Amino acid sequence: MNPFEYQRPLDISTTLQAFSSGARFLAGGTNLIDLMKNGVEKPPKLIDINRVALAEIQPLPGGGVRLGALARNADTANHPLVREHYPLLSRAILAGASPQIRNMATNGGNLLQRTRCPYFMYTEFPACNKRVPGSGCAAIGGSNRMHAILGASEACVAVHPSDMCVALAALDATVLVRGVNGERSIPFADFHRLPGETPQVDTNLKEGELIVAIDLPPSPYSAHSHYLKIRDRASYDFALVSVAAALEIEGGRIRGARIALGGVAHKPWRAESAERALAGKQASRPVVEAAAAEAVHGAKPLSQNAFKIPLARRAIVRALNIAGGIA
C-alpha cells in the first residue's frame, strides 16, 4: 500500500472541497482497501466520509424511498420500507457478499465496486485495459469463465460484480450525486458504462462528484418479484448469472415487466427487449421462455463461458416463474 494523505470531513461541502485529483472517497472500504493492498488503487489522498450525515433511509413524497449513500447494505436490506416496497432489492443485497461485508459496505460504495476480473485485481498480470489503459485484455485469451457475454468490447470483457445494482437497474432507480457545481441526478441505466474503448471508466460519475443518495420510484412490482442468483457455492460468492425479475400482473395479464441480469456484462444489464416481449401478454410458460430467449439474443461467449448463455436463459425463466407464480 502506498503512503497517502487522510482526511475525515464532517459535511458534504468540506468533503467536496477536500477533493483533489486522484483522491478517493472512503466509505465501507470493503473494495477500495483491498485494491490498495494489491497496488491497483494508489490514491494520494483518502477522504473518509463516514462522519458525513448520509446514512438515512426515508420515504419520498409521492411514494418512493431515498436510500442514503452511507446507509450500510445490511441496514438497507433489512429496512422496513425496503422490505415492504422493494423486496427485490432486499433479496438482491442479501444475496451478495457475507454478513460481515454487508455490515460494512455502503450503498454508494456498492455502486462503485470494481470488477473482480483477476487481470484487473492483480498487478502482476501484464495486461488489463481497465487497470493500465492500452495494455490489452488478458482475459480474452485467458481465464474468462466468470466474464461477460453481453455488451463487451475487444478492450474489456469484465463484469460488474454487484447484486444490489441488478435490482436497482430493474427498479428504475436514480442516483443523486453532488459536485462542487451542485447536485444532479443520473438515471440508473446511465450510471454505469459499457467498456467500449475506455474500460478504465466504470461510470458516468465525474471526477470529484460524490454519490449522496439513491432514489427509488414507487414500485408496482412488490407483489411479484424475485432475485435469483446462481453461483458456484451456496453463499459468499459472485454470480455466474443473476436475475432480478419484477412483474406487474393484473388478472393473469402482465401489465409491465422489469428484468435485469448480473454477472453477464460490464454493467447491470437491463433486458428491455425481453420486458417488451412480456408486456401485455397473459403470463404463461411459453411467453416467459420466449422473453428469456430474447434477453440473451446476441450474447457472445468467450472461450470458457458459453454455459452462461443457457444458464442466463433458464435463470430468467425460473425467476419470472417464481415472481409471477407461474407453474
Say if residues 28 and 108 touch (Cβ distance below 8 Å).
no
- The verdict on 120 binding another protein (CB under 8 A) reads no
What does the per-residue mask of binding to another protein show for 184-223, with x meaning CB under 8 A? ----------------------------------------
Q: Determine if 236 is a binding residue for another protein (CB under 8 A).
A: yes
- What are all long-range contacts of 81-84, with beta carbons under 8 Å and residues at least 24 apart? 81/57, 82/57, 84/222
User: Which of these ranges, 61-69, 121-129, 248-256, 292-300, lies near another protein under the rule CB under 8 A?
Assistant: 121-129
Residue nearer to another protein on the CB measure, 162 or 305: 305
| Angle at 166 (CA atoms; ends 131, 22), nearest 5 degrees | 30
Interaction pattern, residues 145-174, with another protein; x per rule: CB under 8 A: x-----------------------------
Residue 124 interacts with another protein (CB under 8 A)? yes
Q: Which of 19, 125, 188, 191 binds another protein (CB under 8 A)?
A: 125
Radius of gyration, alpha carbons of the chain: 19
Alpha helices in 29-160 (DSSP H): 32-37, 73-77, 80-85, 87-94, 99-104, 107-111, 118-121
Residue choice 9, 118, 217, 256 for contact with another protein (CB under 8 A): 118
| Burial bucket for residue 67 (CB in 10 Å: 0-12, 13-18, 19+) | buried
Least distance to another protein from the beta carbon of 102, Å?
A: 14
Residue 239 phi/psi, 5-degree rounding, is -75, 140
CA distance 32 to 105: 11
CA 281/CA 105 separation, integer angstroms: 39
Rank residues 1 and 10 by Cβ distance to another protein and give the closer one.
1
Beta bridge partners of 261: 243, 269
**Selected binder of another protein within 29, 136, 142, 179 (CB under 8 A):** 142
For another protein, the binding residue among 45, 83, 116, 281 (CB under 8 A) is 116
Site string for another protein, 18-47 (x = CB under 8 A): --------------------xx--------
Residue 49 C-alpha from the chain's centroid: 21
Residues at the interface with another protein (CB under 8 A): 1-3, 38-39, 116, 118-119, 121-122, 124-126, 138, 141-143, 145, 230-238, 240, 305-307, 310-311, 314-315, 317-318
